[in-house]
Every structure is written in structure tokens, then in C-alpha cells.
């Protein structure tokens, strides 16, 4: 039996709204993006939009997506990926935040806890991971939500580049 989380309305009328479930890896990218934007709208943060990278950065991101294989990415490769993102003009904090799930996966596998590690085998998996992080963000400050929105947008461009190959 599964439970559906509910969110109480702010007024006293005891109206409940069913929250949308976090996207599963088999959902389409467009569904994941709509869930991310719904999450922002639901929290009253409609002004936080998923940003679109500069067209020059999109070209660089497509080159980066073709260069790296996430299935076999080591910690050194994750650092190189972050360095390439910084060279493209992204903030260092954003570049490191994008590679954090990959580093976590590698660390958890070395500790023998593969079942608890993020399952990231493609750029789409990485995007869905960041969408789920955005969807699950509760009570976080505005800066964190902005960063999560940037991670979703950045990983979406990388996932699209992967699909074009």
C-alpha cells in the first residue's frame, strides 16, 4: 500500500491537495521539467524560472556531453568535468554541485553501499536526479532553490546533447 503525501492549504478550511510524485527515470524529460516548474509554482516561487544557458554555452555543453561517459566516470573525471564547466563560464559552485551525485555514487560504491548510491548512468539520469532534488526541497532558502533550478537547466542541456548523438 502506498501513501500519497498531502499538503494542507494555508486557510482553515482543511482542504487537501495531493502533491505530485517525483519523476521516475522512465518518465520523459518534458514531464520532469514540468514537475520541476510545478514544484516552484506550488511553493509560491513562480518567479524562480528554470534558466536557459547562453547559446554559446550550449555549444560548449554539447561538446562536454560527448566527451564524458557517466557510467565509468571516476572522481578525477568529475573534477575535469567541473573544470570544463567553469571554463565555459559557469560558476564554480554550480559546476561542483552538478558533479556531486557522480562523486557520491563513486564514494558509496567504494564503501559497498551501491544500493543507496544515486543511479547515474547517463546525462538524463543526472538531470532526473537534480529534478528530484528540486522537487524534494522543503523549507530551503531562495538561493538553494535558484541553484537547484540552474542544475536542472544545465543537466537538461547535457541530456538533450546525449539524445542527439
Q: In this prediction, what percent of the chain has a pLDDT beyond 70?
A: 65
- How far, rounded to the nearest angstrom, does the alpha carbon of residue 70 sit from its chain's CA centroid? 15
What does pTM read for this prediction? 0.65
The pLDDT of residue 85 is above 50: yes
The ranges assigned to domains in the chain are 53-164
Mean pLDDT of 25-36: 54
User: Where are the alpha helices (H) located in the chain, listed in sequence order?
Assistant: 29-42, 55-67, 75-87, 92-110, 123-136, 142-164
Amino acid at each position: 500500500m502506498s501513501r500519497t503525501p498531502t499538503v494542507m492549504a494555508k486557510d482553515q478550511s482543511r482542504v487537501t491537495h495531493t502533491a505530485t510524485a517525483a519523476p521516475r527515470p522512465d518518465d520523459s524529460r518534458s514531464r520532469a521539467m514540468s514537475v520541476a516548474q510545478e514544484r516552484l509554482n506550488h511553493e509560491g516561487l513562480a518567479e524562480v524560472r528554470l534558466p536557459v544557458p547562453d547559446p554559446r554555452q550550449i555549444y560548449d555543453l554539447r561538446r562536454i556531453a560527448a566527451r564524458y561517459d557517466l557510467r565509468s566516470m571516476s572522481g578525477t573525471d568529475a573534477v575535469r568535468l567541473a573544470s570544463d564547466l567553469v571554463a565555459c563560464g559557469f560558476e564554480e559552485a554550480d559546476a561542483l554541485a552538478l558533479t556531486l551525485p557522480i562523486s557520491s555514487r563513486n564514494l558509496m560504491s567504494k564503501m559497498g553501499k551501491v544500493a543507496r548510491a544515486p543511479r547515474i548512468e547517463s546525462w538524463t539520469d543526472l538531470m532526473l536526479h537534480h529534478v528530484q532534488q528540486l522537487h524534494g526541497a522543503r523549507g530551503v532558502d531562495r538561493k538553494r532553490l535558484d541553484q537547484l533550478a540552474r542544475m536542472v537547466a544545465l543537466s537538461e542541456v547535457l541530456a538533450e546533447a546525449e539524445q542527439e548523438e
